[in-house]
Structure 1
Amino acid sequence: MTRGQRPAAGVARAATGTDALRSGAWDRLNGAHLYTSAAWLTAFAELGGMTPVSAVSGDGTAGAVGYDARTAGVNPRYTHAWLYEDALLAPVGSFAMLGGCSGYAGHLPHVAGAPAASRREALAAVVDEIRSPVTLLAHLTGEEAAQVVGAELLSGAPAPVLGMVTSELDLTGMREFDDYLGSLTRSSRSTVRADLRRTADAGVDVRVERLADVLEEVAPLLGSVQAHHGHDGSAAGAAGYLHLCLHGDLAAHAFAVVARTQGRAVAFALGYRWHDTVFMRVSGLDYDVAGRTAAYFATYFYTPVRLALEWGCVRVDLGGEALESKTRRGGALVPRWSLSTGASVDRARARAVTAARLADVRAVAGSAVTDGRVAAWQRLHQDLDGPARSTG
């Protein structure tokens, strides 16, 4: 369907803004994926300046969301330059950013068994509305990336790359914290027990609270982490981001875990209870005290695990970064793949970028990345790439 042509009955129609996300149909398609939920997309639209373009297929089985994105105005990890590094042969100024804009967990909503034609229809409606010759689907699981390529959901031959690796903790079948401990290796159990002793011996008080009640108290801790990573470390900037994270319907799902010593907050973590998963979003630290007392692990790992078990959740999404700490405490590694069409990408170099990132992850996560796992991820890149091409 060309732009400006009236869609036939039953054909996906693209909508700009958040009104189309609020009927409930979007979230029924989206399911357990927090970062493409109506609540998350609405918060980033209303407070983050990210206006979504969405569509649902005519048969109601598949959806898609995207953004008319400018490289200079989005999270760097959602840009071609960051993802493809020297495999990108020419700069990309604007593009259709598909599958979400944050959270490093891209997704195209659909029901189980949705026809490939319906998924193509919804995605094409969004791409046609944005009208950019360059598309980017960032941070998909390997399974979903394979679906996109295998069902040819994107027109053209997408150039793949391993963008990053995140971590999640599988709690399936577990009821109590001791079940979690029992699932770990002996070395990991020793690590966890040592953390718990350090926190107890230091007299750290750990509580679960409403983020709105502690936002101003914990914002400087988030600012400290942001400054540590070279970003804006101001308490005001951190508070602004936390306000976004509890905007609108997100507030009902958000919780804060706060660790205090002598009444002073020294660590906190923000999480969400969403369907069957606890999503951990950000942490804030007084690096000196949190390091000595293991307060970071108390707030970001162990209390969320206890909450997930109490709520009957089956996983904790631990996000990216600090992979060594996460794998030592039972986290499994989840590679996140990105696909692009229309950009000038050297596919051989993109494979080298993937190989280099795998080497980096292995250097950090150690034994959690076996030879077999590296080989499997390299094979997946080859499968996503298809026949070798010099450029895309």
Structure 2
Amino acid sequence: MNSFVTATGGIAPGSWDRLVGPHMYASSGWLSFCHGDDPGRVGAVHTGSADQPQAVMPVTAVRSMDNSFYQWHEHLTGLGLPSPGGKGLMAGQHRGYHTQLLHAPDLSHDEAAAALLPELRKLAAEPLVRELTEAPAPDPVPCVAMYLDERTVGAFRRAGVTAPPVLLQLEAWIPVPDGGWEGYLESLGYKRSVRVRRDRRRFEEAGYRVEHLTLEECCEEAGYLLACTQHRYGHPADATVLAESFEDQARAMRGRTEVFLARTADGRPIGFCLYYVWGDSLYLRAAGFDYEHLAGAAEYFNVVYYLPLQQASERGVRRMHAGIEAAEAKALRGGRLHGLWLLDLSEDSVLEGRDEQVAAANARTLRGLVGDSKTVAGALADPGLTELL
């Protein structure tokens, strides 16, 4: 079966989603959105039958990658590490910065990794993948996994991957304790809760009107606000193109999209946050602001953190996925920080035997992400990270 025939590698969406559990970025809807970006290059590998898959993983045939966060070649060479080149098979989807290995309940994570590793390597050796990636002949293209958590890295390493993992980023999960909004504030401690209460008060006093919408209802405004943010940080962005992408995302996710949209008293949109509630988790997905028209009332923290956290606490959600970047802001608001890793799954990886060199590079990366922030250092949640400091 052609692994790229559909977003889920030919597996029916219902059969796929039975394995997804709490992992929204591995859902058939999200993968369908990714597939729409570049049809024919996004798919999946699996073990078991298409009707009853046992272990599955998204894959992407990479010819080039616009998003710099997914450019493994530039990342590795920037760290002074050898690279297998920029073309190849990526284990994972190219949106979301969070790749999961999925499996049936009667299979352990280690068993799933051991079963999928040869399938991934077999796919990397197929002529179809070479054609899709436009990689030079004759050897198999590299097979590189991006944005794996520590647990999945360990499973693949125990399955026989000998290349050392390379630290890419930190992602934040914010626990949502019992007791609703007040319970969350109490969990922060006195000083941090005072800051949050002050931010909330300033936002309320600014007189903004907040609407709770679906993405379908506000694609144009979300596209405009995201373009404003992109321009602020020097990135070219077309509001119309972004709005069309939001429309595609809304269709792919089939009514699961939720948006907080803040307006001034005269109706001007000034900020939005797109999120998903999936299982026991709330996933922050996108945000944008018209910075020229903000009142300086902690709009970002209110729209992106406090409103979703309050929503999560009211709906019984247990944690909020706040993604990568801005580690200190997330740690100050209760975030626990976990490592996301690159792992070269190729049988003859260029990183094999470079353990000490990679460990030194990982330590430099982590020091750069932590900086001199005791807050960030104290929020590191993985043993593998704390050992690097």
Do the two structures share a fold, i.e. TM-score over 0.5?
yes
Aligned pairs for 1:1-150 within 5 A: 15-18=3-6, 20-49=10-39, 51-58=41-48, 60-70=53-63, 72-84=64-76, 85-90=78-83, 92-112=85-105, 114-115=107-108, 116-131=110-125, 132-150=140-158
Give 1:160 shift: 0.9
* TM-score, structure 2 as length reference: 0.85
**Counterpart check, 1:160 vs 2:148:** no
**Counterpart check, 1:362 vs 2:366:** no
Give the match for residue 344 of structure 1: 350
Give 1:284 shift: 0.4
Deviates more, 1:189-198 or 1:91-100: 91-100
Q: For residues 132-159 of structure 1, what are the alpha-carbon distances to aligned partners after superposition, in whole Å with 9 as ceiling and x for unaligned?
A: 441111111112211221233xxx4123
User: Per the alignment, do residues 45 and 196 of structure 1 end up closer, same or farther by CA in structure 2, a change over 3 Å counting?
Assistant: same
Q: For residues 175-221 of structure 1, what are the alpha-carbon distances to aligned partners after superposition, in whole Å with 9 as ceiling and x for unaligned?
A: 41111111112221011111101101111112211111111123211
Q: What amino acid is the match of 1:361? A: L
**Counterpart check, 1:256 vs 2:259:** yes
User: Per the alignment, do residues 17 and 312 of structure 1 end up closer, same or farther by CA in structure 2, a change over 3 Å counting?
Assistant: farther
Give 1:292 shift: 0.2
User: 2: CA distance between counterparts of 1:56 and 1:79?
Assistant: 25
Deviates more, 1:331-340 or 1:20-29: 20-29
> 1:138 aligns to what SS in structure 2?
strand
Give the match for residue 10 of structure 1: none
Give 1:364 shift: 6.5
Equivalences, count? 363
Q: For residues 19-48 of structure 1, what are the alpha-carbon distances to aligned partners after superposition, in whole Å with 9 as ceiling and x for unaligned?
A: 624341211112111111111111111244
Give 1:50 shift: 6.3
User: Is the contact made by 2:226 and 2:288 (CA closer than 8 Å) also made in structure 1?
Assistant: yes
User: Per the alignment, do residues 291 and 137 of structure 1 end up closer, same or farther by CA in structure 2, a change over 3 Å counting?
Assistant: farther
User: Per the alignment, do residues 275 and 375 of structure 1 end up closer, same or farther by CA in structure 2, a change over 3 Å counting?
Assistant: closer
User: 2: CA distance between counterparts of 1:371 and 1:273?
Assistant: 24
User: Per the alignment, do residues 118 and 146 of structure 1 end up closer, same or farther by CA in structure 2, a change over 3 Å counting?
Assistant: closer
Q: What amino acid is the match of 2:43? A: V
Aligned pairs for 1:297-336 within 5 A: 297-336=301-340
> 2:296 aligns to what SS in structure 1?
helix
The percentage of counterpart residues that share the same residue type is: 25
Give 1:74 shift: 4.8
User: 1: CA distance between counterparts of 2:207 and 2:151?
Assistant: 44
Deviates more, 1:341-350 or 1:296-305: 341-350
User: 2: CA distance between counterparts of 1:291 and 1:127?
Assistant: 54
User: Is the contact made by 2:270 and 2:290 (CA closer than 8 Å) also made in structure 1?
Assistant: yes
Aligned pairs for 1:164-179 within 5 A: 164-172=169-177, 174-179=178-183
* Candidates 242, 246, 249, aligned match of 1:242: 246
User: 2: CA distance between counterparts of 1:372 and 1:53?
Assistant: 33
User: 1: CA distance between counterparts of 2:39 and 2:233?
Assistant: 23
User: 1: CA distance between counterparts of 2:148 and 2:212?
Assistant: 31
> 1:216 aligns to what SS in structure 2?
helix
User: 2: CA distance between counterparts of 1:137 and 1:253?
Assistant: 28
Q: Is there any run of 5+ residues in structure 1 with no aligned partner, and where?
A: 1-12, 382-392
> 2:103 aligns to what SS in structure 1?
coil
> 1:230 aligns to what SS in structure 2?
coil
Deviates more, 1:128-137 or 1:82-91: 82-91
Q: For residues 221-276 of structure 1, what are the alpha-carbon distances to aligned partners after superposition, in whole Å with 9 as ceiling and x for unaligned?
A: 1001122333222212321332232132x141111111111211111111111121
User: 2: CA distance between counterparts of 1:211 and 1:80?
Assistant: 31
Deviates more, 1:212-221 or 1:78-87: 78-87
* TM-score, structure 1 as length reference: 0.84
User: Per the alignment, do residues 380 and 110 of structure 1 end up closer, same or farther by CA in structure 2, a change over 3 Å counting?
Assistant: farther
Give the match for residue 135 of structure 2: none
User: 2: CA distance between counterparts of 1:355 and 1:259?
Assistant: 40
User: 2: CA distance between counterparts of 1:45 and 1:371?
Assistant: 35
Give 1:289 shift: 4.1
Deviates more, 1:161-170 or 1:78-87: 78-87
Q: What amino acid is the match of 1:167? A: A
